[in-house]
Structure 1
């Protein structure tokens, strides 16, 4: 039952991406109004329809393109704290742990 719900959510997400094809630009700017920075992005699918074969997983591809534009004049910001958490449990094989580093 969980697999069916998971598949339906994935199918719904793919259908939304296919239906809208391209998403409009989102702008990010500084509070002082001097920034002209923007981030444009598009989402396209490899095909218009997806079908799940019997006894197999459906396959497809989504291409996401990010295009930064403009400039940010005020690049001074207060310092931030950054925390890295590494999972070293049994599920993290040495190859996975090395890839994460």
Structure 2
């Protein structure tokens, strides 16, 4: 299993909307993510900065599977209006520096 850390940023003034949108994601999006190996996806927010921690079987395979999925495409439209930059192109992964296990 892969553990991926991503960073994104909100446009100013969208904090409450973003939090509200994530109170419950669409069931079809949850199902397609789980069907494609997502074990967990956590998002932490510090002001405008979003930190995603994803546990997934294969992140590249997940991205490929979601690329043409209607549930994910609809979700991306909803979220991209709130983000400062493109999630897929601007986020990049965060390198692991230290871990206590």
| TM bin (shorter chain) | under 0.3
Higher-Rg member (1/2):
1
Report the TM-score, using the length of structure 1 for normalisation.
Answer: 0.26
Higher relative contact order (CA 8 A, sep 6+): 2
Query: What is the TM-score when the length of structure 2 is the normalising length?
Result: 0.26
Q: Please identify which structure carries the higher strand content.
A: 2
